[in-house]
Chains A and B, each alone.
Chain A
């Protein structure tokens, strides 16, 4: 089964198609993802932005089989990583995919490192497991990649325990670990959110430089639009478990189309004169156990019309630029609704 699909998706590192997923609970199902489609080409750096709880982490964790077993239900869609369909895989196949094709870097590096094992051993273990390298070779690879992450005296650092490193150093060790077995795709889930901006900028550069040099694809998850704007080729905007807009980073940020993307950018202090009132988004994100009918942004949207309250807009537009909004685009229904105003 690992071979099917390789041929037709050769150019894609990741293809998530119409993925829907829920978490059953006693009081009802939390509909965490609804029809999410995300494509990442080889060597592409793609951002996912959106506010907390919108489904950024669940999307990528579902794709790589990292969600808690038995606690969630996929209700539709498919995921392919370098052509391999991951949703149907068992744990050992998933481990294979996570070792050889995808690595994830999380926000809190302490949780991802074993506190009782020296950095060097943790790195060489990973390298030896995936590269079938000798210990001497693995140590050399580890040293080189730590140096590549601007860790001075890599030999000394390899002899330290995780708690002996600062947060920024730990995160660089984890990035070294993620790149060490040459995965085709790196998923970075808010890797710099807990770090200072001075360290953050270095880490973004390190990820970008190494990914570009090795042709590695990257999915970069962040709630910080400015960070994503500096790093990513293309951008997905999520709201309440749905993709609302997608396109080249500069296009989306310079000329946002979806009312939510527009509102999200307008509430940042960056683009407003000092002390002037910011355009806050009124209301709150919907409860995903009881999402509203129609467009999920409708209760907060200034442009909502009747259709928005009854039917969900789908992502429309050419591949390069898509928006899910009844008031955008050129379909017949849209112009009819638009003229109603």
Chain B
């Protein structure tokens, strides 16, 4: 009994103080002389069977964070652990096993699938890479997975270009769950789809989560989608988490000034368009030279004395909510 509770609630994904930077310029020896600072000290946890949403504007580092988590972007500082095991330092067989425990689904189903391979090969490719399966076994496995995502058996021998965007996303999802992963990273999985198709894919992902206890990290621009889909949410700005906590709390009553602006700007049926005075025109600061003090300061309407000091993510009250702003303590 206690054993079971333990497995349900333990974090499947743990990220601590992750920093990712890319060389922006090099000297004549090819050594980097400056960097793009894409992810700047991200710490987060997602417990088994739950969903964490990451929101924030274009370029704030969401995809880079996702890539670092699944091992596609190298990092020099920080730690990513899947089921308690450090991925970057793992070697050999352990690394391969860990790699199979997490999969990613991208925004653009068109470009993320090899256009020359039939659907059954696409779906079973991660299993093929793992090895030890005959073609007949792979085909049979692909058939089961196709059924799980709502594709029909006759689809299996077709090529991806014969499918609509929504169907291609089903193929990508079938492929992602083929290794029976614990964690699925979903990087804007429905942004390229019409809302009626988005609804199908969202339903499918929620169903798979219920059936298989999957853990999700969902990256999205769409606040309404995150509110619907996620238990928890983290708001990113310039490579940092500025606010995090239960989705209904953060999105229902934002405490960080950036989250407040983001939510006021999100299109809504209920609230009228905010006035220009309520909106803050502005863009992400340059991430080659990070600001000192609060990263949001140059756009923040509430900036006061004290904001020139670096801000840390602090727990608000006794709940699970955290914000990176000294005024949010309130």
What is A's interface to B at a CB cutoff of 8 Å?
Answer: 51-52, 150, 166-168, 196-202, 204-206, 208-209, 223-227, 229-231, 253, 263-264, 267-272, 274-281, 284
A237 → B minimal CB distance (Å) = 13
Task: Report how far A277 CA is from B200 CA in the complex, Å.
Answer: 9
Task: Give chain B nearest CB distance to A151 CB in angstroms.
Answer: 9
**CB-based contact A196/B57 at 8 Å:** yes
Complex Cα–Cα for A224 and B224 (A): 12
Q: A197-B262, A267-B196 are contacts. A284–B267 as well, Cβ < 8 Å?
A: no
Interface of A is mostly: helix
Q: Complex: how many Å from CA A202 to CA B274?
A: 9
* Count class of interface residues, chain B: 35 or more
Q: Does B300 contact A (CB under 8 A)?
A: no
Q: Mark B257-287, 1 if CB is under 8 A from A, else 0.
A: 0000110111111011111100111110000
CB of A150 within 8 A of CB of B281, answer yes
Known A-B contacts A197-B265, A200-B265; A267 and B198 likewise in contact (beta carbons under 8 Å): yes
Min distance, Cβ A115 to any Cβ of chain B, angstroms: 20
Can you show 18 pairs from A to B with CB atoms below 8 A apart? A150-B276, A168-B283, A197-B262, A197-B267, A198-B265, A201-B267, A206-B276, A223-B195, A227-B267, A230-B271, A264-B195, A267-B196, A267-B198, A269-B202, A274-B228, A274-B247, A275-B229, A281-B196
Q: Are A278 and B203 in contact (CB under 8 A)?
A: yes
CA distance A231 to B228 in the complex (A): 24
User: B200-229 vs A: 1/0 string, CB under 8 Å?
Assistant: 101100100000000000000101110111
Known A-B contacts A51-B195, A280-B199, A280-B200; the reply to A230 vs B275 at CB < 8 A is: no
Of the listed residues A209, A270, A276, the one surrounded by the most CB atoms of chain B closer than 10 A to its CB is A270
Beta-carbon contact of B224 and A230 below 8 Å:
no
Extra contacts besides A205-B279, A225-B269 (20): CB < 8 Å: A51-B195, A196-B57, A196-B58, A197-B266, A198-B57, A198-B261, A199-B283, A201-B265, A201-B267, A201-B273, A201-B279, A223-B194, A224-B267, A226-B267, A270-B224, A270-B269, A274-B248, A278-B228, A280-B203, A284-B164
User: Are A209 and B276 in contact, CB atoms less than 8 angstroms apart?
Assistant: yes
On whether the beta carbons of B273 and A231 are closer than 8 Å, the reply is: yes
Which residues of chain A have C-beta atoms less than 8 A from B57's C-beta? 196-198
Q: By the criterion CB–CB under 8 Å, are A277 and B203 in contact?
A: yes
Cα-based distance from A281 to B1 in the complex (angstroms):
42
B interface residues (Cβ-Cβ under 8 A, vs A): 57-58, 164, 194-200, 202-203, 206, 221, 223-225, 227-229, 247-248, 261-262, 264-269, 271-276, 279-283
Residue from the list B202, B206, B225, B273 in contact with A230, Cβ < 8 A: B273
Q: With CB as the reference atom, state the residue of chain A lying closest to B264.
A: A201
The minimal Cβ–Cβ distance linking A206 to chain B, given in whole angstroms, is: 8
Once the chains are docked, how many angstroms separate the CA of A223 from the CA of B198? 13
Nearest CB in chain A to that of B227: its residue: A274
Which of A52, A197, A253, A272 makes the CB contact (< 8 A) with B194?
A52
B184 to chain A, nearest CB (A): 16
Q: Which of B164, B199, B247, B272 contacts A278 (CB 8 A)?
A: B199
Most chain A beta-carbon neighbours within 10 Å: one of B195, B264, B265, B274? B195
A269 B194 Cβ-Cβ under 8 A: no
For the complex formed, measure the closest distance between the CB of A3 and the CB atoms of chain B, giving whole angstroms: 39
A212 to B274, CA, bound (A): 16
* Complex: chain B residue closest to A278, CB-CB: B199
Flag if B276 contacts A267 (CB, 8 Å).
no
Most buried by A among B269, B271, B274, B283: B269
